[in-house]
Amino acid sequence: MKGYIGIDVGSVSTNVVFMDEDGIVRDPIYLRTQGQPITAVQKGLRKLRESMPPGVKIRGVGTTGSGRSLAGIIVRADAIKNEITAHAVASSTLVPGVQTILEIGGQDSKIIILRSGVVSDFSMNNVCAAGTGSFLDQQAARLNIPIEEFGEIALKSKTPVGIAGRCAVFAESDMIHKQQMGCDLSDILAGLCEALVRNYLNNLGKGKEILSPVVFQGGVAANMGMVRAFEKALRLPIQVPTYYNVMGAVGAALLAREAVAKKGQSQFKGFLVSDTEYKAGSFECSGCANQCEVVEIAEGGIIIARWGDRCGKWGNVINQKEKIS
């Protein structure tokens, strides 16, 4: 069997998938990043190798997510792409004809508009993180309900209460107010979902034409309460794809396939990556008042990448050949 690996290193989770040559996704692995992207990538690859039959050949590797550059350097990826492109590629391949992608992850949310299979517009939350997975997580923890049951409870609601969705802080005080008034928990959770959807559509969806088929992906798509709130607000059916929580990784694998087809062969280092020691160090540059935190990645004592400097004096030296895109 031959195939491609896709790695998505996000703020909250690190996902690794294997996609065979026919585009069938196998073994999605979903790990918590826990602030250690290098370890998460190594762990993910180790798990993947263990779950695969012997003799599998890796034709290419792609990385995406906010940790894409770091992961890309470590595995020597064939494609290093931003998560918007990766999500769009994955959706348009798995859900042919998709015209709108709603994506809500741990720290960010985005909307991607596609027409005829090509991204025509997108938007990503900018100065506000209200309505992302972290906020839902935090509220679930405050109410002492497991996040997995959040959606199920919200679905039981018959009369969702009104909650201010503009700002997470106001939303929380509104929720507490409703809870102290004696409102039903399911009504509060459903109300919160509707508030977040309103915030999302006002923030990201403004001026955009949301057409069916609509796909909802990212970790928050597991929350049925959110799915129902989107259906109610948009008056359109919402599809949640099977691999909704690893779509970025699927997209990265697809992009790797594209890149390798162009180049001829992969530069993947192989699974030994999981056993090699990588060290990330940092130092403060004292060249100017910016005092940039420069990060260095070392593989067995040799520095293989540097970034974080505004002026490029450290990064350019190392990265001159391999442009980090």
Decide: 285 and 272 in contact? Cβ < 8 Å: no
Number of residues that bind other proteins (CB under 8 A): 30
Of 206, 265, 272, 275, which one interacts with other proteins (CB under 8 A)?
206
Rule CB under 8 A: which of 261-280 touch other proteins? none
Closest to other proteins by CB, 155 or 304: 304
Which single residue is written with the structure tokens 């250690």? 36
Window of 37-45, 196-204, 274-282, 317-325 that interacts with other proteins by CB under 8 A: 317-325
Q: Interaction with other proteins in 223-252: which residues (CB under 8 A)? A: none
**The one segment of 40-48, 205-213, 224-232, 246-254 that binds other proteins by CB under 8 A:** 205-213
Least distance (Å) from other proteins to the CB of residue 141?
25
Residues numbered 2-31 forming contacts with other proteins, rule: CB under 8 A: none
For the CA atoms of 83, 87, 88, 93, what is the dihedral angle to 10 degrees? 140
158 vs 216: CA distance, rounded Å: 23
The Cα-based distances of 229 to 23, 140, 147, 220, 237 in angstroms read 32, 17, 17, 12, 11
Q: Which is nearer to other proteins, 35 or 300 (CB)?
A: 35
Closer CB to other proteins, 65 or 191, in the complex: 65
Scanning residues 65 to 94, which ones bind other proteins (CB under 8 A)?
66, 81-85
Q: Determine the interface stretch with other proteins among 123-131, 142-150, 163-171, 180-188 (rule: CB under 8 A).
A: 123-131
Instruction: Give the C-alpha separation, 313 to 289, whole Å.
Output: 15
Distance CA 156, CA 229 (A): 13
Which one of 41-49, 118-126, 186-194, 274-282 is the stretch in contact with other proteins (CB under 8 A)? 118-126
Residue 85 or 139 with smaller CB distance to other proteins? 85
Count of Cβ atoms closer than 10 Å to residue 258 Cβ: 17
Half-sphere exposure in the Cβ direction for 204 (13 Å, CA): 30
Q: Is 286 exposed, middle or buried (0-12, 13-18, 19+ CB in 10 A)?
A: exposed
Helices (H), the chain: 37-51, 68-75, 83-94, 133-142, 147-155, 168-181, 185-203, 224-234, 247-263, 315-319
For other proteins, give the closer residue by CB, 108 or 194. 108
- Determine, following the binding rule CB under 8 A, whether residue 318 of this chain makes contact with other proteins: no
- Considering the rule CB under 8 A, would residue 286 count as an interface residue with other proteins? no
CB distance 141 to 172 below 8 Å: no
**Where along the sequence are the contacts to other proteins (CB under 8 A)?**
66, 81-85, 108, 116, 118-122, 124, 126-127, 206-208, 288-291, 310, 312, 316, 319-320, 323, 325
